[in-house]
Amino acid sequence: MTSKIQRIGVFTSGGDAPGMNAAIRAVVRAAIYYKLDVFGIMRGYEGMIEGDLVRLGVRSVGNILQRGGTILKTARSKEFRTPEGRKKAYDNLGKEGIQALIAIGGDGTFNGLHALHSEYGIPTICIPGTIDNDIAGTDLTIGFDTATNTAVDAIDKIRDTALSHNRLFFIEVMGRNSGYIAINSGIAGGAGAIIIPEEDVSFDDFYNRLTAGEETNKKSNLVVIAEGSKLGPANELARKVAERSSYFDIKVTIIGHLQRGGSPTYADRVLASKMGVAAVEGLLNGQSDVMVGIRENKMVYNAFDSLTEFHPIDSEMMRIAKILSI
């Protein structure tokens, strides 16, 4: 460790994700282990602009490993998107002597940090915290495992009532333009069909897949839909199916923000802990304008320019889902 960095700032931004607190804890304790001062920046870039910073110690992050959400809060800031807003933020960092930043969030968070680094040269490292798992450069993002487990738990419960009443349930999960939660929870929950943004499927093809069950008198079924589906949201798709056939008794469940909350799984806690330590050590070893990631179970540092690509769904997962949906 040859860096002259003595004081760092850590913050969370964008949508919250289970495991963010575990990442904050790891950053703070790793920094203190290496004899650095740590400041938490409240409410992301908004707090940076307003100078809402607080000194953090070892005990400040005690008993947060198992908690969902983020103790540093999070917000989206329109002002930070302007050069004037970023100037205010940088000046406030200077007032506290902060020499480097670690951000926990998604692609919007990373874009903001890259702009700050480009304009002022401040060393920066990002930690991917988003349930969507849609960021290139890492196999997993913090929060994805917990959110998927939450979705699977909901699907299991819905299956019970679907079987009791011979119903077709459309279950909408989160993921914005990413189908990672949908494809994984759909396979794990035994869905009869899974609709994700990454796959082009016509309504007719989807409908034919559903009605194939009529031959075997299959009247209960589950369809898992990613919120960014090209066929439309769950309510719209259910309406279209109901207009074409009275064979199914159709219900819709939108799991929604339940997927963002709750105690993180052990996998997310361990991943967040690894990434938090790697972020601090990366700064001390001269890394900057990069994102920590995990690939093939090894920690890596991804240059910002390499993060412009979308994290693609494994085509093998889509193939398996089709085989198992009969």
Residue 53 belongs to some domain of the structure: yes
Mean predicted confidence (pLDDT) in 155-175:
91
> Tokens standing for 57?
């110690």
For 106-125, the pLDDT digits (tens) are 989 999 999 999 999 999 99
Query: 23 and 128, same structural domain?
Result: yes
In this structure, the number of other CB atoms found within 10 A of the CB of residue 294 comes to 18
**Domain assignment present for 319:** no
- Give the strand pairing for 7-12 and 37-41: parallel
- Model pLDDT for residues 70-105, shown as the tens digit of each residue: 999 998 899 999 999 999 999 999 999 999 999 999
- Which DSSP symbol is given to 175? -
Check if 204 is active-site.
Answer: no
Candidate from 156-160, 245-249, 303-307 with smallest mean pLDDT: 245-249
Residue entry with tokens 């050069």: 83
Does residue 72 sit within a domain? yes
Q: Which of 45-54, 133-142, 213-222, 314-323 has the lowest mean pLDDT?
A: 213-222
Contact indicator for 12, 104 with CB cutoff of 8 Å: yes
Tell me the mean pLDDT in the region 44-49: 97
Q: Is the pLDDT of residue 215 over 90?
A: no
Looking at residue 251, its pLDDT comes to 94
Residues 268 and 130 in one domain: yes
CA-nearest of 235, 204, 224 to 212 is: 204
Is the domain of 157 the same as that of 132? no
DSSP 153: H
Residue 34: is its pLDDT beyond 90?
yes
Q: What are phi and psi of 323, to 5 degrees?
A: -60, -40
Q: What is the pLDDT of residue 220?
A: 62
- What's the whole-model pTM score? 0.94
Q: What is the DSSP letter of 49?
A: H
Angstrom distance (rounded) from CA 273 to CA 266: 10
Are residues 127 and 235 located together in one domain of the fold? no
Q: Are residues 188 and 238 in the same domain?
A: yes
Of the residues 16, 37, 107, 132, which is catalytic?
132
User: Based on the structure, what is the number of domains in the chain?
Assistant: 2
CATH of the domain at 154: 3.40.50.460
Q: What is the mean pLDDT of residues 287-303?
A: 96
Assigned domain for 315 exists: no
Q: Are residues 150 and 236 in the same domain?
A: yes
User: How many whole angstroms separate alpha carbon 287 and alpha carbon 276?
Assistant: 14
Same domain, 151 and 194: yes
What's the rounded mean pLDDT across residues 35-63?
Answer: 97
Q: How confident is the model at residue 322 (pLDDT cuts 50, 70, 90)?
A: confident
pLDDT number for residue 217: 58
User: Is 276 found in the same domain as 135?
Assistant: yes
pLDDT band at 1 (very low <50, low <70, confident <90, very high): low
41 and 168, same structural domain?
no
Domain that holds residue 64: 7-143+264-307
Token reading at 18: 């289970």
Q: Is residue 315 scored above 90 in pLDDT?
A: no
Residue 164, pLDDT score: 84
Query: pLDDT tens across 125-158, in order?
Result: 999 999 999 999 999 999 999 999 999 999 999 9
Judgement on whether residues 152 and 115 belong to the same structural domain of the protein: no
Cβ pair 127, 103 in contact under 8 A: yes
Burial group, residue 243, by CB count within 10 angstroms (0-12, 13-18, 19+): exposed
